[in-house]
């Protein structure tokens, strides 16, 4: 067999080796890299606001601080709304616990009658699964909270530094590549930043719209704490496919626990279906668009990989990070086939389809 025949195989092997090594580095370096990647994505989102403030004559450091304060204010408002609803739920906690006990008893009776596992055996299995002591659970919860707080502070510090030194970082990237690739790399960084800004900004607007639609729908069908579950279902949209299904499942479960009948469950599912239709055929094309042009298969794969490597933070970052990876692949000739593999099909991009007609109507 001629030596040239080994060249494509060798190149594929090298790429697979690099991917495996990169995955291992990401997995073991999660405490260091996860806050930095979060900060990088959020800094890309805040960069247009920072540039606008700088054009108004505000110092870059002060502009970065204002951007961070705006980000903190946004999350504070969301947490405040959830806390307000949680206080309402807390007042009905005893009633919820009582109803949850009844539902659990009915489920255990069903399992016993259909599987032959007696109630005592089920209770023993639950007791054996819950082996942690209250003191150990308290220590673990405290440790997790402190770790989360440290990561939040690190993310805010990294955002400030990235916004403040973004020109310096860009010059480093240009110096680190060959002279023939400087223009290509500059375009690559600009396009990746633009994609992140468009995707995250559109996603934020879509989540706000979902809050309103879920809030109206859940209120009409009679869900208690409708605002809480509307915010929950809308916010979980940051994890495509999985997030909205999880939020709706929790809403249905709470509806059953609250004593809801099949009519309430059907109302929740109809609301979910209508909101998903509006999101997929109106909000997604108009607000978010095709900025992160991943096909559905690799969208799901990216979420699974993100979960395996970094857990929930990885699931949140998966789509924008893989979208930027596709842009990198599209800019370098040897990697273009992989960019094509990650992207949507040509049929989805043809003009004159349903999406274009809907856009024309709503524009």
- What does each C-alpha distance from 124 to 106, 109, 120, 252 come to in angstroms? 17, 15, 6, 28
Over residues 21-34, the mean pLDDT reads 83
Residue 39 near residue 155, CB atoms below 8 Å? yes
Q: Which residue has the higher pLDDT, 155 or 325?
A: 155
Residues 222-234: pLDDT tens digits? 888 888 888 888 8
Which residues, 6+ apart, have CB-to-CB distance to 36 below 8 Å? 158
Q: Give the model's pLDDT for residue 317.
A: 82
List all residues 6 or more positions away from 26 whose beta carbon is below 8 Å from its beta carbon.
33, 309, 310
Please report the pLDDT score of residue 1 as a whole number: 46
Closest among 304, 327, 79 to 199, alpha carbons compared:
327
Q: Which pLDDT score, from 0 to 100, does residue 66 have?
A: 93
Average pLDDT over residues 336-342: 80
CA 165 to chain centre: 27
pLDDT (average), residues 152-166: 89
The whole-number pLDDT of residue 183 equals: 66
- pLDDT tens readout for residues 241-258: 777 778 888 888 877 776
Q: Which candidate, 187, 237, 238, places its Cα nearest to that of 214?
A: 237
Q: For residue 212, is pLDDT > 80?
A: yes
Please provide the average confidence, as pLDDT, over all residues in the chain.
75
Of 115 and 1, which is predicted with more confidence?
A: 115
76-103: pLDDT as tens digits: 888 887 787 777 777 666 666 666 666 6
pLDDT-wise least confident of 23-32, 226-235, 329-338:
329-338
- From the number of C-beta atoms within 10 Å of its C-beta (0-12, 13-18, 19+), residue 46 rates as buried
* pLDDT recorded at residue 181: 65
- The rounded distance, in Å, linking the Cα atoms of 42 and 35 is 11
- Residue 19 pLDDT exceeds 50: yes
Measured CA to CA, the distance from residue 58 to residue 55 in angstroms comes to 7
- Pick the range with the lowest mean pLDDT from 82-86, 266-270, 303-307, 344-348: 344-348
Task: Examine the pLDDT at 268 and tell me if it is beyond 70.
Answer: yes
Confidence of residue 209 (pLDDT cuts 50, 70, 90): confident
pLDDT at 69 over 90: yes
If you average pLDDT over residues 271-297, what whole number do you get?
A: 73
Token digits of residue 25: 């580095």
């Amino acid at each position: 067999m001629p030596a040239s025949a080994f060249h494509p195989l060798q190149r594929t092997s090298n790429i697979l080796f690099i991917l495996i090594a990169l995955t291992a580095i990401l997995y073991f370096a999660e405490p260091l890299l996860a806050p930095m990647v979060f900060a990088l994505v959020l800094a890309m989102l805040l960069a247009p606001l920072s540039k606008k403030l700088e054009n108004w004559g505000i110092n870059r450091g002060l502009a970065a601080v204002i951007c961070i304060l705006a980000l903190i204010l946004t999350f504070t408002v969301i947490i405040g709304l959830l806390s307000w609803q949680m206080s309402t739920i807390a007042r009905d906690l005893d009633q919820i616990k009582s109803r949850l006990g009844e539902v659990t008893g009915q489920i255990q009776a069903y399992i016993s009658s259909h599987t032959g596992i007696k109630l005592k055996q089920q209770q023993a299995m639950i007791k054996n699964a819950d082996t942690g002591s209250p003191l150990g659970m308290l220590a673990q919860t405290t440790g997790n909270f402190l770790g989360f707080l440290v990561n939040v502070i690190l993310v805010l510090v990294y955002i400030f530094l990235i916004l403040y030194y973004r020109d310096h970082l860009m010059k480093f990237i240009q110096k680190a590549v060959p002279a023939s690739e400087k223009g290509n790399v500059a375009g690559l960084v600009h396009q990746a930043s633009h994609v992140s800004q468009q995707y995250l900004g559109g996603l934020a607007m879509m989540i706000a719209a979902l809050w309103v639609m879920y809030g109206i729908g859940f209120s009409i069908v009679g869900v208690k704490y409708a605002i809480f579950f509307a915010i929950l279902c809308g916010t979980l949209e940051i994890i495509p496919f999985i997030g909205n299904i999880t939020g709706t499942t929790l809403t249905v479960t709470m509806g059953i626990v609250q004593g809801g009948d099949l009519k309430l469950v059907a109302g929740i599912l109809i609301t979910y279906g209508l909101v998903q239709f509006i999101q997929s055929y109106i909000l997604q094309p108009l607000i978010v668009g095709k900025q992160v042009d991943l096909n559905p298969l690799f969208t799901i794969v990216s979420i699974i990989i993100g979960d395996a490597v970094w857990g929930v933070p990885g699931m949140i970052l998966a789509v924008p990070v893989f979208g930027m990876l596709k842009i990198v692949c599209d800019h370098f000739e040897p990697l273009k086939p992989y960019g094509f593999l990650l992207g949507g099909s040509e049929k989805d991009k043809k003009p004159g389809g349903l999406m274009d007609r809907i856009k024309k109507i709503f524009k």
